[in-house]
């Protein structure tokens, strides 16, 4: 009982300390802001918490922000990661990139948000917290609808993401139970977007007109070139893919004039397509995926087999089109209708 009382007292003291700092504009040694204005910042590295409103218990929703302002003027790049709370590789990419780039060698400004969806991350969920919807279908957000993720997106959009932004790279991964290679969604109707996609040196690119509510599409519709950069699978840091993504971002920074370290790096030509065809489990079972990411398949090739609990084949699945494998299921336990393989063509 004494330990319980002590624990409760300790937690209350932490909360009181947090509340006091939040009300005074600080959490520990990190300032809390509700609007970002990079023009007012000095050259160098800055760290903030952006206040995106309050959660269901009244606690502020604080989103970490790193700003790197170069000694020379230039464009402002927005880098975001973990808009989906289970997609973490991009966080490590941002951490490493922002520690590698020197303000003395930077032209312009990089605004990096390493963990947009803090409620989702804390709940180990793709979505907005435990019961919320998809935050990457909620941009640019609204205050008029009751959805928490739409209001969260509204605060982020108007106070942090949009102001001063010239270019956007939104870092993602595939969702839980599946994986991508290094892969970019880009709307080729915008020439700058197309250049951005290739300069990131991905394995594959989908020429895609976008989807309502995504950060990428919402930015493009505002006239701001943006791409979605997919980096592997969820709930892990994949060192090899993180290294490749960093190489791609450095090449992108050179190509866009943020850095001046020589010519763009030579890279293999990515596979480019404009359509997805998904192969779904025809019934529940244990899936053995018979192709790897980036494999080229022909229509009719075997790609997956479902087994029952005794190891007996339930159903064989074959490629319905020719193309390249852009996503696979990594969790063998597949419900009926769950994706097994995605083909880009």
Q: What are phi and psi of 170, to 5 degrees?
A: -100, 115
Kind of pairing between the strands at 26-27 and 333-334: unpaired
SS in 3 state form for 6-23? HHHHHHHHHHHHHHHHHH
| Number of helical H runs and strand E runs in the chain | 7, 20
Domains of the chain: 24-271 (3.40.630.10), 275-344 (2.40.50.100)
What local confidence, expressed as pLDDT, does residue 5 receive?
Answer: 38
In the block, residue with structure tokens 């802001």: 33
Angle at alpha carbon of residue 48, lines to 46 and 53, rounded to 5°: 160
What local confidence, expressed as pLDDT, does residue 19 receive?
Answer: 40
What local confidence, expressed as pLDDT, does residue 143 receive?
Answer: 87
Q: What is the mean pLDDT of each run of 10 residues along the chain (345 residues)?
A: 40 38 72 96 97 89 97 97 97 98 97 97 93 94 86 96 98 96 98 97 97 98 98 98 97 94 71 98 97 98 98 97 98 97 98
User: What are the structure tokens assigned to 120, written together?
Assistant: 């989702």
What local confidence, expressed as pLDDT, does residue 57 receive?
Answer: 87
Helix (H, G, I), strand (E, B) or coil at 169: strand
What local confidence, expressed as pLDDT, does residue 106 receive?
Answer: 97
User: What are the structure tokens assigned to 122, written together?
Assistant: 């804390």
User: What are the structure tokens assigned to 205, written together?
Assistant: 């690119």
Is the separation of the CB atoms in 116 and 136 below 8 Å?
Answer: no
């Amino acid at each position: 009982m004494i330990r319980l009382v002590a624990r409760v007292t300790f937690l209350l003291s932490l909360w009181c300390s947090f509340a006091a700092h939040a009300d005074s504009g600080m959490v520990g040694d990190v300032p809390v802001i509700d609007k970002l204005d990079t023009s007012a910042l000095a050259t160098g590295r800055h760290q903030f918490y952006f206040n995106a409103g309050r959660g269901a218990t009244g606690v502020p929703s604080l989103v970490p922000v790193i700003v790197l302002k170069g000694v020379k003027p230039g464009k402002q790049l927005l880098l975001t990661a973990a808009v989906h709370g289970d997609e973490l590789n991009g966080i490590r990419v941002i951490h490493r990139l922002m520690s590698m780039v020197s303000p003395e060698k930077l032209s312009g400004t990089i605004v990096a948000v390493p963990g947009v969806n803090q409620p989702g991350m804390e709940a180990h969920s793709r979505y907005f917290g435990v019961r919320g919807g998809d935050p990457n279908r909620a941009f640019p957000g609204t205050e008029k609808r009751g959805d928490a993720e739409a209001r969260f997106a509204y605060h982020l959009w108007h106070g942090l993401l949009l102001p001063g932004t010239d270019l956007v790279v939104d870092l993602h991964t595939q969702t839980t139970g599946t994986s991508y290679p290094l892969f970019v969604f880009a709307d080729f109707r915008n020439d700058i977007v197309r250049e951005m996609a290739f300069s990131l040196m991905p394995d594959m690119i989908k020429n895609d007109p976008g989807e309502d509510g995504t950060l990428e599409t919402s930015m493009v519709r505002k006239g701001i070139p943006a791409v979605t950069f997919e980096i592997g699978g969820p709930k892990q840091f994949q060192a090899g893919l993180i290294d490749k993504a960093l190489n791609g971002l450095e090449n992108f920074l050179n190509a866009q004039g943020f850095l001046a370290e020589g010519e763009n790096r030579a890279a293999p030509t990515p596979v480019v397509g404009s359509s997805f065809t998904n192969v779904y489990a025809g019934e529940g079972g244990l899936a053995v995926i018979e192709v790897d990411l980036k494999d080229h398949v022909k229509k009719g090739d075997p790609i997956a087999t479902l087994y029952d609990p005794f190891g007996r084949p339930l159903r064989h699945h074959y490629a319905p089109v020719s193309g390249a494998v852009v996503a696979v299921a990594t969790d063998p336990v597949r419900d009926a209708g769950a994706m097994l393989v995605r083909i880009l063509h």
